[in-house]
Structure 1
Amino acid sequence: MSLLQAKAAAVLVALGCTSTSTTPTVSGFGVVIPVVLNKRAGATSFLPQQQQQQLPLHGASTISSRSTSQRKAPFTIMEASGDGNGEPKAKREPWEFRRFVKTLVFFQGPRRPRLPFSSTARAERRSRRSRQATKGAAGAEGGEGLPPFLAGGKGVVLVTGATGGVGRRVVELLRQKGVSVRAMARNKSKALAMLTEGKETKGGSGLDVVVANIIDKSSLTPSLFKDVAAVVSCTAAIVRPKEGDGPDRAKYFNGITFYEPEVADVPKETEFEGICNLVEAASRYSDIKGKTLFACLPSFQEEWRQWGALDDVVMGGVSESGLRVVPGAGETDAKSSSGSPAAAAVFSGEVKTSNSGGFVSIRTRNASPPLDLSAYDALRLRVKGDGNRYKFSIYDSPGWNSKAWCDTFDTVKGEWMDVDIPFSTLKYNFRTESVKDPPPFSPDSIHSFQLMLSKFELDGKLNPNFSAGPFELTTSSIKAVSIETAEERQNSRLVHLSSAGVTRPGRPDLDIDTEPPAVRMNEMLSYLLTYKLKGEDVIRDSGIPATIIRPCALTEEPAGAPMIVGQGDYLKGKISRDDIAELAVSSLLTPEASGLTFEVKSDLAFSTLWEGAPQGTPARSYGDILGPLEQGVTGKEVDGRQDSGGRRKRSPRRLRRKKRTRRRLCES
């Protein structure tokens, strides 16, 4: 055996790719190839041990030894003659052994022997016990009745306006239910004093207090929305009595006695432009439109590094591919946070059918711990293709030579498109063959993903859209999403607190003198209600599953008064802040709330003081309360009609024009 052959065998041994027998093997990537040292031929043969007669997948081959002058060239692959004498049968394209080793190193790395009592093993056991204890603690604290995206401490709820009268109550109720909360405020010391008695929050406490302002777009960073699965928007322009108020804002919180009001903020900035900023940032950085697994943002650099090339070089082929994040490769109308053209991940290279090859792919390293996507029912890829048909695989087991759940998708050359891969349509495959009687798919234990261009379909037949040669697939994001169906409504991911009366200023069917002060004084209050309505429209047009709550006058009375909900924006009255906080939290947990805009008040006159519900009063069923309400009812004037139910449907062209206009207003 030559020195070069000895080095090659040593590399394979160091990588842990060999068996404990005297005959080493290469394994782990869908192929097991015994390495036979053929002294007579002076070559290292990748052939089976049974007298080298049973050819491995894609044909057996030998690697010829290289002279000293040829060491910089790749190994030359020759098809085996089958008689064991090492004589070449026919020349094949050169095979790059170094790239083969590089692939093994990227995905498996050098394997070091570990004793069960080693420090590394002890650390792994401690980490595993810690994850189990955390999961158990989350279940002990609460979690019953939580939707999948919040159960077990999976997702974070971002609460804006967390120091407000309703916001701080929302934070408290969410924590009581075992939900992780990120409380957003403009003043951290004030927020800590209200929420934690002045103590700094620590990791694992379930509460994170952050400083940000929806008016300041630069403060809405990707880190603010990391792991955020839902948002409760409690931010509002501050309204105070003209005559002044105490530091505890007792007059404002009273809610019953009328004081001449004035606004301390600019309603256009807080109620409209700030909502534009919040919706845009949440859509880009958070999981409220689905869990973002990969995106071309600075916060996802490490995630993209987990992808590596896994081409037919592992089978003796010569195809080559790679993945790189390219600035400016994203969609032309998408911009990065710096204002430059957005980046995108480009999967490209050249696929060849030489040496019985014919596929290129990229695959992620195994996730540790595995991903839990049980809150979702599909993956959504945003891609620009080249006309080829690609295969996407999901592995719910850690083995590299394991079966996978697969689906294919076609692309249109040069066009951006959303590709949905429903979990319900995935096919269980081993390499290119379907597996009969597959086990159930395990979305709560996802180990890795693979994106492939292959000459074979899922059933072993030829890919009709395959063409050898250069290829390029550009990807801007991969998300786990819930695909809404007519039979099942998604839970809201954004709950927004607005105000009753937002559609009333200027409405001809109303007696303005009988309306609440905010309606009568809308112009004097810098069009407060007008901009609240514009903010609502931004949310309704965002595509985010949302609930918009319009409370009447807020009071400091205890919760539990009889509650009335309505649509069409006609209700007048009062409602407790405790009740609104409970309603906001319940809207996240109640599917019937998704897509609704409604008003709410208590069934009490202003002059009647509510002292609390009698002991033993049953808890409200918000599913029953909100179930009869209709989606799409806002109380606005639409085409000359009040849409208080049965409104005329706007044409798609008009909706697109209105959405573009609102986007320009947000950007101006």
Structure 2
Amino acid sequence: MVNAPFCFVTLPYSVDRRLQGSTWKQQQDRISSKTKSARKRQLAETPQTLKAQQRTEDKRSGSMRPWPVLRFIKDATFFFNPFRDPNARPNPTERLVQQQAMPRADPERAPGGLVLVAGATGLLGRRVVAQLLAAGYSVRALVRSEKRAEQALGNLKYPKSKLGERAAPGTLQLLFGDLYNVPPEGVQDVTAVICCTGVKIGPQDDTPDRDKYGQGIKFYEPVVLEDTPENVEYRGVQNLVSCARDVLVSGQKIVLMDFEDAETAARQWGPVDDVVMGGVSASKLSFPERGIGRFSGLVRTDNFGGFASVRTLPFQMPLNLQGYDGIELLVRGDGKRYKFIIRCDDRWDGIAYSCSFDTEDHRSTKACQRIRLPFERFVAVFRGSTRPNERPLDRSNIQAFQIMLSKFEYDGALNPGFKAGDFCLEFRYIGAYRDVLGAEADRVRGHGAQVVAGGTATQRPRFIHISSAGVTRVLRPDEFPDLSKEPPAVRMNAQLGRVLEWKLAGEDLVRSSGIPYTIIRPCALTLEEASGLSALRLEQGDWLRGQVSRDDVAALAVACLDEPAMEGKTVEVATSAATERPTMHSLRERALQLERDQDAIQRKFAPFPYVPQGS
């Protein structure tokens, strides 16, 4: 009975010695000549330095540990069970087909749809929320705490709905989090995003009502409060764009496997640890709560081992990911480097395709990390050794997934930072993604899309980004030689952590995202009453100076959601004097006079995309 599983298993080398005796010495005394030869060949393939390291480590750890033969039999039986129902095997192809056929929320209809507002409790953000609700949109407000939401939005007399419920038009949902931690459900069903975030700047030791801030820079010198410009204007926007892109660009991401049904997932994943080669590491895939798969265990280097993994059963049918560019994971890691492995045949011990990835240590938080593994980075391997002459990964014939923590990278190289001991990697989903670059980005951004009169793309903006006038002026000294004549933010850019440069970097993230967008650069914001859209000056080139009411900026942001002529454009905005009001009153008429951002990558004053360098 003990030998039954072996007729199904092809192991790295003979396991006869592991089934005889309970100690390593007894096992060694009974090794067959065939096993000795296999072991010699295995060691001969290992670099001399590596063999020395292994033996030194084993010596330090004491004696060789007894091999857990019963666990080996249990694990092998999981994968080679002739009585298993074939329908119990994973079928990600079914998920793929279902999601591709699923009707998506239509962001082209307006008013209506669900809009995510980032920075919803700010002076501008709360006005955007109010005007969206008044226009018939449902709103999901990203807020840090219930207290802040009550202070900023408590006076809005609109019905509220809970996250996860269908948001009826004119209802408000609260999403608790921040730019760095937008949960997956935060962007579900969203048809547009308006980003009103900005680093908090003001006088030190201001009153709760911000009395000093209201008196202006003439009386109190401003400083950066709370977070840094780099984090808010760039890192935070980067994360928000990444999350939004999944739902705002059709077909960008598709979920292949999740862990909503723990019972089903437990039948589809099994451990493949170094016990198959005499090691003693142990791992498992558990489900601590709905929607989370936890790959955890203890990895040891005894007995020349040093890896732990979990692997799916062979899929019911090959998974065809032609048209996708890689694998996407949403994880909560422990700071270690893992491998994601794809198998393109149903053999147990054949060629596999592996890609290593580093995780951030989020064990003390609930923050998740989105990881993308391009198919081009997967390398052909056989038992840890690369096979450069093998054909590339066949993305049309994917038959199993595996996740591994190993002491080794490839060809005997060590995994940097590896430490034997406990590990824990939590998964929210395994998916596939399309990279919105090149031709796809051209299509999405209108370079090859259908156009209407005036050369404007027919799609509406789905990401409205509120930036600031003056973001490019510190980078254009020939055109703006005297910064003393510029607004305070331009004059004090360096003192305020290069805030305008980081805002420009955030703009470029939006421009290069592939999401249909509009970037609004308001001049100095005021708390004056709205003058109306027809009173606003809309210009380009970052020359405009003046003031504009926050109510007017909010109205413009909401109006852009229903105006295809504003897609792919950046515009500065200020209130016109009564004697200088535009002769064209509709937003459509003025938008058709604006240039698209197609030539942003050719600008001379800064590379595209821009990221501030140095201090």
> What is the TM-score of this pair, normalised by structure 2?
0.50
Q: Which amino acid aligns with 1:587?
A: C
Output one character per residue of 1:158-188: Cα deviation in whole Å (capped at 9) or x when no partner.
1111011110111111112222211012232
Distance, in Å, in 1 between the alignment partners of 2:172 and 2:342 is 34
Q: Give the alignment of 1:4-153 within 5 angstroms.
A: 148-149=106-107, 151=109
Q: Give the alignment of 1:201-280 within 5 angstroms.
A: 201-203=160-162, 206-214=171-179, 217=180, 219-242=181-204, 244-249=205-210, 252=213, 259-265=220-226, 266-280=228-242
- Name the residue aligned to 1:322: 317
- Name the residue aligned to 1:567: 540
CA contact (8 A) 1:296 1:477 kept: yes
Distance, in Å, in 2 between the alignment partners of 1:274 and 1:148 is 26
- Name the residue aligned to 1:582: 555
Q: Does 1:509 align with 2:479?
A: yes
Distance, in Å, in 2 between the alignment partners of 1:383 and 1:635 is 30
- Distance apart, 1:288 and its partner CA: 1.4
CA contact (8 A) 2:192 2:462 kept: yes
Stretches of structure 1 lacking an aligned partner (at least 5 in a row): 1-95, 104-146, 309-319, 351-381, 385-412, 418-452, 454-469, 643-653
Output one character per residue of 1:253-299: Cα deviation in whole Å (capped at 9) or x when no partner.
6779774322213112111221122222333xx41122667324747
Output one character per residue of 1:590-618: Cα deviation in whole Å (capped at 9) or x when no partner.
1111111121101139xx9x9xx9xxx99
- Name the residue aligned to 1:65: none
Q: Does 1:550 align with 2:512?
A: no
Q: Which amino acid aligns with 1:589?
A: D
Closer/same/farther in 2, CA of residues 198 and 571 from structure 1, 3 Å limit: closer
Q: Does 1:477 align with 2:447?
A: no
Q: Does 1:170 align with 2:103?
A: no
Distance, in Å, in 1 between the alignment partners of 2:135 and 2:341 is 39
Closer/same/farther in 2, CA of residues 289 and 348 from structure 1, 3 Å limit: farther
Distance, in Å, in 2 between the alignment partners of 1:331 and 1:480 is 8
Q: Which amino acid aligns with 1:528?
A: V
CA contact (8 A) 1:499 1:532 kept: yes
Distance, in Å, in 2 between the alignment partners of 1:173 and 1:604 is 24
Closer/same/farther in 2, CA of residues 529 and 293 from structure 1, 3 Å limit: closer
Distance, in Å, in 1 between the alignment partners of 2:474 and 2:318 is 55
Distance, in Å, in 1 between the alignment partners of 2:240 and 2:176 is 14
The alignment yields a C-alpha RMSD, in angstroms, of: 5.2
Higher helix proportion, which one? 2
Closer/same/farther in 2, CA of residues 635 and 383 from structure 1, 3 Å limit: closer
Closer/same/farther in 2, CA of residues 625 and 553 from structure 1, 3 Å limit: same
Distance, in Å, in 2 between the alignment partners of 1:295 and 1:497 is 31
Of 566, 570, 573, the residue aligned with 1:600 is: 573
Distance, in Å, in 1 between the alignment partners of 2:131 and 2:583 is 18
- Distance apart, 1:194 and its partner CA: 2.3
- Distance apart, 1:532 and its partner CA: 1.0
Q: Does 1:493 align with 2:423?
A: no
Whose relative contact order is higher, 1 or 2, with alpha carbons under 8 Å and at least 6 apart? 2
Q: Percent identity?
A: 33
- Distance apart, 1:150 and its partner CA: 6.5
- Name the residue aligned to 2:292: none
CA contact (8 A) 1:184 1:210 kept: yes
Output one character per residue of 1:75-105: Cα deviation in whole Å (capped at 9) or x when no partner.
xxxxxxxxxxxxxxxxxxxxx9x989999xx
CA contact (8 A) 1:189 1:198 kept: no
Larger deviation: 535-544 or 293-302?
Answer: 293-302
Of 144, 156, 179, the residue aligned with 1:186 is: 144
Q: 3-state SS of the aligned residue for 1:164?
A: coil
- Name the residue aligned to 1:627: 592
Q: Which amino acid aligns with 1:595?
A: G
Closer/same/farther in 2, CA of residues 222 and 593 from structure 1, 3 Å limit: same
Closer/same/farther in 2, CA of residues 509 and 192 from structure 1, 3 Å limit: same
Q: Which amino acid aligns with 2:466?
A: L
Closer/same/farther in 2, CA of residues 292 and 167 from structure 1, 3 Å limit: same
Q: Which amino acid aligns with 2:187?
A: F
Of 254, 257, 268, the residue aligned with 1:294 is: 254
Distance, in Å, in 2 between the alignment partners of 1:526 and 1:100 is 60
- Distance apart, 1:495 and its partner CA: 0.9
Q: Which amino acid aligns with 1:514?
A: K
Distance, in Å, in 2 between the alignment partners of 1:151 and 1:254 is 43
Closer/same/farther in 2, CA of residues 232 and 346 from structure 1, 3 Å limit: farther
> What is the TM-score of this pair, normalised by structure 1?
0.47
Distance, in Å, in 2 between the alignment partners of 1:526 and 1:480 is 32
Closer/same/farther in 2, CA of residues 536 and 341 from structure 1, 3 Å limit: farther
CA contact (8 A) 2:114 2:192 kept: yes
CA contact (8 A) 1:322 1:349 kept: no
Stretches of structure 2 lacking an aligned partner (at least 5 in a row): 1-81, 90-104, 269-314, 348-373, 377-390, 402-429, 452-456
- Name the residue aligned to 1:359: none
- Name the residue aligned to 1:355: none
CA contact (8 A) 2:537 2:576 kept: yes
- Distance apart, 1:245 and its partner CA: 3.7
Q: Does 1:195 align with 2:160?
A: no
Closer/same/farther in 2, CA of residues 290 and 631 from structure 1, 3 Å limit: same
Closer/same/farther in 2, CA of residues 179 and 335 from structure 1, 3 Å limit: closer
Distance, in Å, in 1 between the alignment partners of 2:553 and 2:563 is 15
Distance, in Å, in 1 between the alignment partners of 2:326 and 2:503 is 32
Distance, in Å, in 1 between the alignment partners of 2:560 and 2:592 is 12
Closer/same/farther in 2, CA of residues 154 and 590 from structure 1, 3 Å limit: closer
Closer/same/farther in 2, CA of residues 548 and 254 from structure 1, 3 Å limit: farther
- Distance apart, 1:494 and its partner CA: 1.2
CA contact (8 A) 1:184 1:209 kept: yes
CA contact (8 A) 2:343 2:398 kept: no
Q: Which amino acid aligns with 2:140?
A: R
Closer/same/farther in 2, CA of residues 292 and 526 from structure 1, 3 Å limit: closer
Q: 3-state SS of the aligned residue for 1:322?
A: coil
Q: 3-state SS of the aligned residue for 2:185?
A: helix
Output one character per residue of 1:510-556: Cα deviation in whole Å (capped at 9) or x when no partner.
12121111111111112111111111122222222221111000011
Q: Give the alignment of 1:361-372 within 5 angstroms.
A: none
Closer/same/farther in 2, CA of residues 160 and 240 from structure 1, 3 Å limit: same
Closer/same/farther in 2, CA of residues 207 and 343 from structure 1, 3 Å limit: farther
Q: 3-state SS of the aligned residue for 1:178?
A: coil
CA contact (8 A) 1:296 1:476 kept: yes
- Name the residue aligned to 1:539: 510
Distance, in Å, in 1 between the alignment partners of 2:113 and 2:375 is 26
Closer/same/farther in 2, CA of residues 574 and 634 from structure 1, 3 Å limit: farther
Q: Which amino acid aligns with 1:213?
A: D
Closer/same/farther in 2, CA of residues 101 and 592 from structure 1, 3 Å limit: closer
Q: Does 1:281 align with 2:243?
A: yes
